[in-house]
Amino acid sequence: MTDPRAADGPDPDPRNTPDLEPGGGVPAGSTPPASGGTSGVSEHEPDTRHGFPVTGAATIVVVCLIVVVFVAVVVALILMATGVW
């Protein structure tokens, strides 16, 4: 049999929390109960402030080349379909 409190999450039941006022606040000098959180960065982010990475520039160039080839093929197909070329 499972524990019915397990589905409630990590926070305690407000009815059993000491110093909790009826509106959910706490009196001056009291600290609310600790709760799990996901704040903070889990892994160091690379520093890219000093310049754009070479891989980023290469990716932009490759994507631009693909777009140019795609547009050229579309224009050629349209010209062939209309009989101009």
CB 33 within 8 A of CB 17: yes
- Residue 61 is predicted with a pLDDT of 97
| Residues lower than pLDDT 70 in the chain | 1-9, 12, 14, 17, 31-42, 48
Neighbours of 75 (CB within 10 A): 11
Phi-psi domain of 24 (left: phi exceeds 0; alpha: psi -120 through 50; beta: other): left
Residue type at 73?
Answer: V
> What ranges in 6-83 are assigned the alpha helix state H?
54-82
